[in-house]
Structure 1
Amino acid sequence: MMDYALLDALATVLRSGSFEKAARLLGLTPSAVSQRIKLLEERLGLVLVVRGQPCTATPAGQKLFRHAEEVALLENSLREEIGITGIAAERPSIRIAVTADSLATWFVSAMAAVDDCLFDLVLDDQDHSAEWLRRGEVRAAVSGDSGAVQGCDNRPLGSLRYLATASPAFVRRWFPDGVTPAALAAAPCLTFNAKDMLQARWIGKVFGEAVATPTHWLPSSEAFVDATLAGIGWGMNPEVLVRDLIAEGRLVPLVADAPYDVPLYWHWSRSVQPAIRGITAAVIEASGAVLLPPET
């Protein structure tokens, strides 16, 4: 039988990244937290935490962390089902992998609709966010991957539409004779990080060939829009973030009627499905207000 006070200490250390922060959250001293982790490791005969800045989990520690999170979520769900209301309880945390552009456009609305848990978000590219779920490091994920994840279910949410945009001054400077592969090979673009393939995929879709583009690396959805407005480069921005700027003439599409749509999917672990039913409903509603309807 697991000692859940010890598991709670482990989960709090791994979530916060340090014994000192975990102690403040638990109302204990760092020494007391350390003793709980040591006792749990001695009972199991396993090292669970790699001490460092931040503290990280060993493979065994990661599995126990996942178990502790699932237990807290299921206990919270059980309280609601059997009508326990008079006893105060801590809200459980749920770790979810999301894309930066989803967070910037609609996921916060989903979070606002759920008040019985705390969110622990991991940001990753839409082509890679489901990997967190495959590794067992999150309980749910917003992903561009429609493939099944073992032990999980998924459903389509819709497509986030992107537009290749730039400032009018940038277009005049870099594309005086129109947007062509040769011009794109000289004009600086904006790239979120090394995993971001949106610019390359848009070029391939519109022009039918690959173009090596000079790029600024800019890992922020909001800064992407700001940098586009400032004329630093052209970028693939979510339509919902630039629609008004285009209407005002502050940004222009590089090519008319040439959007790029990215389908998104909601994946969740079956082990916590009852406990995150409310989150799933909020995700579906919030995404539906922004994304294009799923293709049928």
Structure 2
Amino acid sequence: MMPDLPLDQVRTLLAVVDEGTFDAAAAALHVTPSAVSQRVKALEQRTGRVLLRRTKPVRPTESGAVLVRYARQLARLERDTRRELGLSGAGEPARVSVAVNADSLATWFFGALTQVTGLCFELHREDEGHTAELLREGLVMAAVTTAPEPVPGCSVRPLGRLRYLPAAAPEFAARLPEGPLAQALYEVPVVTFDLKDRLQDGFVRSLGGTGAGTLRHRIPTSEGFLQAVVAGLGWGLIPEPQALPLLADGRLVPLAPDVWVDVALYWQQWKLDSPALAALAEAVTETAAGALRR
């Protein structure tokens, strides 16, 4: 531990962020709330930065997030070291926190998890364009993301491309207005995942339009999104592994057979010599190689 960042102060900062309040952190650490407050203030004085937003729950500032990530990495290294030395608590399974997008969860990611034994997983579902932020905040150890540039303190490797196919139920497609597809799609309902989902808008813009229409159904699960499109609530971009069998049996029809959207995915993880992270990274990379397009 660096002498100017005392371990007890860094651990206390992490406890406050994880528990949400100074009182709850004090209970978790078996110290008084006053001691927690003094440690955080001392760490802020040492770094010359405000580390916490005194909200409910407490949230780290940008500088605080850097130290929180550092604290989690130290905890990970400590657990790995204890396990290798066979010390007390070494028999507990290693826990790995990962941020992953819903479509990867629904199509290929669980295949990677089944290849790794002896680990417990804590999955954070988030849009692939925002999973890197959870890494940056120190909330997860690894993430499936669309960010090719590594988060500070992390390594990155390409996984492949998840292809999305524009599709709709046959009855819905038959009611599309005549004329250019971009204009037709603007005039009819579209299914989106949530407010962060701009995939459908980008597809319509690639056809020369201004984006998808304002009649939007927000379905925040991959399975529910698919069911909504199959039911005819609107059109949407469906991950290829989900779309192909439904296109084959006629429950979906392609809206533009020669046009699709490819989303490049990357694996980012902490730069730690951690056997648990290394094993998971290899499993994810191997599974992605067989499931995603190169």
1:53–1:134 Cα change, 3 Å:
closer
The Cα offsets for residues 79-117 of structure 1, whole Å up to 9 and x where unpaired, read as 45x452775454554443322212222223333444555
CA contact (8 A) 2:204 2:212 kept: no
The Cα offsets for residues 97-143 of structure 1, whole Å up to 9 and x where unpaired, read as 32221222222333344455544444433333334445555432212
- Matches of 1:240 and 1:16 in 2, distance apart? 39
Alignment of 1:1-296 (within 5 A): 2-3=6-7, 11=14, 14-15=17-18, 17=20, 34=33, 37-38=36-37, 40-41=39-40, 44=43, 50=53, 53-59=56-62, 61-79=64-82, 82=84, 84=86, 87-91=89-93, 93-134=95-136, 137-175=139-177, 177=178, 180-205=181-206, 207-214=207-214, 215-271=216-272, 276-292=277-293, 294=294
1:167–1:35 Cα change, 3 Å:
farther
**Secondary structure of the residue that 2:108 maps to in structure 1?**
helix
1:178–1:119 Cα change, 3 Å:
farther
**Secondary structure of the residue that 1:157 maps to in structure 2?**
strand
1:19–1:134 Cα change, 3 Å:
closer
What TM-score do the two structures reach when normalised by structure 2? 0.77
- Matches of 2:117 and 2:21 in 1, distance apart? 26
What TM-score do the two structures reach when normalised by structure 1? 0.77
CA contact (8 A) 1:72 1:92 kept: no
Say what the alpha-carbon RMSD is for the aligned residues.
Answer: 3.5
Report the number of matched residues: 285
**Secondary structure of the residue that 2:287 maps to in structure 1?**
helix
The Cα offsets for residues 11-63 of structure 1, whole Å up to 9 and x where unpaired, read as 4553454689879xxxx679858566346325536676556543433455434
Of all paired residues, the percent bearing the same amino acid is 38
- Matches of 1:90 and 1:67 in 2, distance apart? 22
1:184–1:150 Cα change, 3 Å:
same
Shift of 1:280: 0.6
Tell me which moved more, 158-167 or 32-41. 32-41
1:50–1:135 Cα change, 3 Å:
closer
1:8–1:115 Cα change, 3 Å:
farther
Tell me which moved more, 83-92 or 268-277. 83-92
Shift of 1:202: 2.2
Shift of 1:212: 4.6
1:204–1:9 Cα change, 3 Å:
same
- Matches of 1:58 and 1:190 in 2, distance apart? 35
Segments of 5+ residues of structure 1 without an aligned counterpart are: none
- Matches of 2:140 and 2:174 in 1, distance apart? 45
